[in-house]
Chains A and B, each alone.
Chain A
Amino acid sequence: MRKLDPKIPSGPLETKWDRHRFSEKLVSPNNKRKLTVIVVGTGLAGASAASTLGQLGYQVECFCFQDSPRRAHSIAAQGGINAAKNYQDDGDSVGRLFYDTIKGGDFRSREANVYRLAQVSTQIIDQCVALGIPFAREYGGQLANRSFGGVQVSRTFYCRGQTGQQLLLGAYSALCWQIERGQVTMHPRTEMLDLIVVDGQARGIVVRDLVTGRLSVHTAHAVVLATGGYSNVYYLSTNASGSNVTATYRVWKQGAVFANPCFTQIHPTAIPPGDASQAKLTLMSESLRNDGRLWVPKTMADRRSPGDIPEAERDYFLERRYPRFGNLAPRDLASRAVKAVCDEGRGVGSSGYGVYLDFAGVIEQQGFDVVRERYGNLFEMYHRITGEDAYHSPMRIYPAPHYTMGGLWVDYHLMSSIPGLFVIGEANFADHGANRLGASSLMQGLADGYFILPYTIGHYLATARLPSIPEDHAESRAALHRVTSKITRLLSAKGRRTAASFHREIGTLLWNHCGMSRDEAGLKKALTSIPTLREEFWKDVMVPGSGDDFNQELEYAGRVADYLEFAELLCHDALHRQESCGAHFREEYQTDDGEPKRDDTRFAHVAAWEYRDGAVPLLHKEPLTFEFVQPTMRSYQ
């Protein structure tokens, strides 16, 4: 059995990263020029890594499937980015950000990684300001902060409701500079479809030019994946429709182990699904829960309009279940509470999958204008989508898949189990444990890309033996063959069903059996249904057109084919983890009043899965040891 060594430096937590950086080998400037690094994905992690590697002098080949690197899905992040600057002098520190993050992740992440993340968080803000990012400011000219996601300090930096956009455009502009300097070659509208591994090292990728359909091989000395998360395996999610699992999944099949895939975050406040044609779920910012109250009728199938339901017949279920935190309970608990009342038949809206988020109280107390100033853009967005006016009747919301904490396993260097393959941002599994706190995904993406990977990849390039390989190496040809045969198979099925219909079916199946709550029977049922659905797909999918030109349906069908395999891995992991922790809730492991029961004796480990052709994936466990903090039960009651 393969031993997964996280390579965490020894010694005091506070100095691990500094000492590690000093002990790392460096590549001399002359030699950097001779080294090529491939970066796949141009979100916060990918764009910041590609630009920084270019600036250091490496030759960077950068790829994205979008028409421009600026459109990666990081652009849609609304809320903000955390940093332990303590500008508000409210008691924040690196140590506190570290502790909040590790506790928020329900003690399922590595201490050393999370501490490093908290340490570099302050540098990120300085770097972003230097890049010209127009963060919100106070009248005196200092950077403004807001509080977020239930923590007790104000450490979130923001640009209105468009923080992800501004941070990404900052990283994109840095990337533009390196493209202009010739350090980075950008390949937009180019999708990575396989990895080339030579003598156990990642040495290149196979890509498809999405305009001409041409497949080609790109070789390099190392490969960096920054290809995001896999929430779209659920079909309906808050992710962009292009976000997909293909790059990370196909790399898994080449030997990179995949960690904690069952840790999927379901965000409590999205606009509920409407009819079958719906293609995505729109997130309503978490900030709404600062003033809005969640409720459902006390009786089942109460069809009265909300205004006709008297106060005594309403159940403010979050306030009832979590009196200390009320409507500000953490995301995982809030989502499950919403699901529970809907499952009881007390949900609202035509589908019964929705709860009210009511602002009547705050409007009465503080006035219409205050609410409009605070949330006007969100109310307008809600109105545009639903046609309803939330100033006069409550919003309806329902949880939606939003972010995936699981991802490819990486060590402290952010290197996967395949030497030379690095994974950064949401695509890796590292820092958020079983649940991510608000405003920390942007922090992690930029920490990995600007400040961590550029150091650790240097050590690998300085120490690994990397003989030059020809583009038509046997392994390149093999990878190319895998891609070609998959495309041919998709185009030749010529069946009756669209790829979207299969995507919707696998998504519904996962949502029902491996969504907000899971149990053994449901997971086993899913594990029997998925192979049947997959077989059906290859027999009956219809992909029109050819592989030799711009064919969006072919791109999409390839991604759906990967979801149909990846879903199985997700269920295996959820089945194995016989505990409830963070976003992973197993019905069998709860207290009498429905709270999750974590099991630190049996499950304080990272579950890392290895692909085996035609067999159940092989589980490796990386034990999580806590030297500096004591795991406690998260209680919000």
Chain B
Amino acid sequence: MKFTLKIWRQNGPAERGRLVTYEAQDVTPGMSFLEMLDGVNQRLIGNGEEPVAFEQDCREGICGSCSLVIDGIPHGPDRGITTCQLYMRRFPDGATITIEPWRAKAFPIIKDLVVDRSALDRIMQAGGYISVNTGGAVDGNVLLIGKDQAETAMDAASCIGCGACVAACKNASAALFVAAKVSHFAILPQGKPERTHRVSAMLEAMDREGFGSCGNQYECEAVCPKSISVRFIANLNREYLRAGIVEAGLPGEPESPHAESV
């Protein structure tokens, strides 16, 4: 198979970027999209040219490193997968494919297709944790957690932090990312003591980092490689509303770990 690639090249955050055309030759249908790009890079290096910088690591859809916008869609045309899980048999022979980086104010470009996603880490540092010391934890079966509740928490927790949700959103909002983490902890009894502080702190950090607000367009869910539901954003809004009430000094619901979950 043969493809024409239009790839975003940009030397650094301060430089102007542009689309450059490359030919991908000797591609087989069984090659992954990233292996196809490896081939292009091997030829560039062989000619003494700088290869196209792109991010990847585990190549099995879990580390969240790979981050390409392919023909306008983060992680490409298929639902529920990362870029590294996309194979060339998905494209018609001879097609022209455009490859761009995640684009968002909060994700400055480092080089070519590599962006700086450390803003997501800083949101996590603002409150995406349960502050519990190592040692002295009670037995794992002391607090019972219903199967459904555990499964819902796991649905939210399966976020890989790739940032596709941000790249797909016209507001470049990180609402789905924040919602996944806030919901994961709010659902579980262990996360309840800090839920009020957590949601406010993480949303404030999201604003501070330059992410936009949620516009309820659901592009995030459509591109999420783990198909995380926008219903968690609804949950995020409820958590935020609840935090507002509790913080305003009105009597809130009890903060006991045994409190019923939402």
Contact = CB atoms under 8 A, between A and B. Distances in A.
Given A127-B135, A136-B150, A176 B125 contact: yes
B256 interface: no
Given A71-B57, A142-B144, A384-B81, A278 B35 contact: yes
Contacts of B146: 137, 139, 141
B134 interface: yes
Interface in B118-136: 118, 120-121, 124-126, 128-135
B62 A75 contact: yes
A49 B117 CA distance: 24
Given A384-B81, A387-B29, A68 B53 contact: no
B234 interface: no
Given A137-B150, A169-B157, A542-B46, A275 B125 contact: no
B145 interface: yes
B121 A176 contact: yes
Given A169-B157, A240-B63, A176 B128 contact: yes
A288 interface: no
Contacts of B160: 75, 165
A13 B143 CA distance: 32
Nearest to B112: A550
B50 interface: yes
Interface string B181-217: 0001100101100000000000000000000000000
Contact of B137 (A52, A127, A159, A277): A127
Contacts of A549: 12, 111
B116 interface: yes
Interface residues of A, number: 83
B111 A550 contact: yes
A180 B130 CA distance: 12
Contacts of A240: 57-59, 63
A177 B144 contact: no
Contacts, number: 221
A179 B116 contact: no
30 contacts: A67-B65, A67-B118, A70-B121, A71-B58, A71-B64, A75-B63, A126-B138, A127-B135, A131-B129, A131-B130, A137-B149, A138-B147, A141-B144, A162-B158, A176-B124, A176-B125, A180-B129, A274-B30, A275-B30, A275-B31, A277-B31, A277-B35, A280-B60, A498-B46, A544-B44, A544-B45, A545-B50, A550-B110, A552-B51, A552-B53
A129 B59 contact: no
A68 B34 contact: no
Contacts of B222: none
Given A51-B134, A71-B63, A549-B111, 19 more contacts: A55-B134, A67-B55, A71-B58, A71-B64, A75-B63, A75-B160, A85-B140, A127-B137, A129-B137, A130-B132, A131-B129, A134-B154, A137-B149, A141-B144, A169-B157, A173-B124, A188-B118, A385-B30, A542-B45
Given A173-B128, A549-B12, A130 B63 contact: no
Nearest to A385: B87
Contacts of A137: 145-147, 149-150
Interface of A: 48, 51-52, 55, 66-71, 73, 75-76, 85, 87, 123, 125-143, 159-160, 162, 164-166, 169, 172-174, 176-177, 179-180, 186, 188, 211, 240-242, 274-275, 277-280, 282-283, 384-387, 450-451, 454, 494, 496-498, 500-501, 542, 544-545, 549-550, 552-553
User: Looking at A128, A180, A549, which has the most chain B CB atoms within 10 Å of its CB?
Assistant: A180
A516 B46 CA distance: 33
Contacts of A138: 147
Contacts of A142: 141, 144
B4 interface: no
